[in-house]
């Protein structure tokens, strides 16, 4: 069964450093997403990406965040200058494109990258 993969599984960084989290979405999917989950809290949407551009983003996704599809398989989330409050589990997800406007584009999640900012 195809699945979303993410690397690394755990990233430890110093406050102020840049980090890049990597994801390989399911191969025939065209919509990609990043979510985060702070320990003990609910999963929160960050950004969605389609056709090489951001299609939607949340208030959390400010100027310190960026996303990129550098090649045909990878999808990355960059945090430019990490803060202590960025410590969380970051999940990548993907879904099929649905051009009919239907609503059930089920999103499938990767195993996550645990980011710890010291």
**Min CB(16)–other proteins separation in Å:** 27
Nearer to other proteins, 15 or 28 (CB): 28
User: Which of 76, 62, 61, 108 lies closest to 8 in space, CA to CA?
Assistant: 76
Nearer to other proteins, 3 or 18 (CB): 3
Contact indicator for 56, 64 with CB cutoff of 8 Å:
no
- For residue 76 the two structure tokens come to 């990355």
- Cis status of the peptide bond prior to 8, with omega within 30 of 0: yes
**Min CB(48)–other proteins separation in Å:** 4
Nearer to other proteins, 48 or 82 (CB): 48
**Min CB(109)–other proteins separation in Å:** 4
């Amino acid at each position: 069964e195809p699945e979303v993969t993410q690397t690394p599984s755990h990233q430890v960084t110093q406050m102020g450093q840049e980090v890049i989290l990597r994801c390989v979405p399911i191969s025939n999917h065209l919509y990609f997403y990043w979510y985060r989950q702070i320990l003990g809290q609910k999963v929160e949407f960050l950004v969605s990406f389609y056709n090489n551009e951001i299609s939607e983003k949340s208030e959390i996704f400010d100027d310190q965040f960026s996303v990129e599809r550098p090649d045909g398989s990878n999808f990355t989330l960059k945090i430019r200058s990490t803060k202590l409050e960025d410590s969380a589990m970051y999940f990548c997800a993907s879904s099929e494109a649905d051009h009919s406007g239907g609503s059930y584009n089920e999103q499938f999640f990767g195993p996550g990258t645990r980011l710890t900012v010291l």
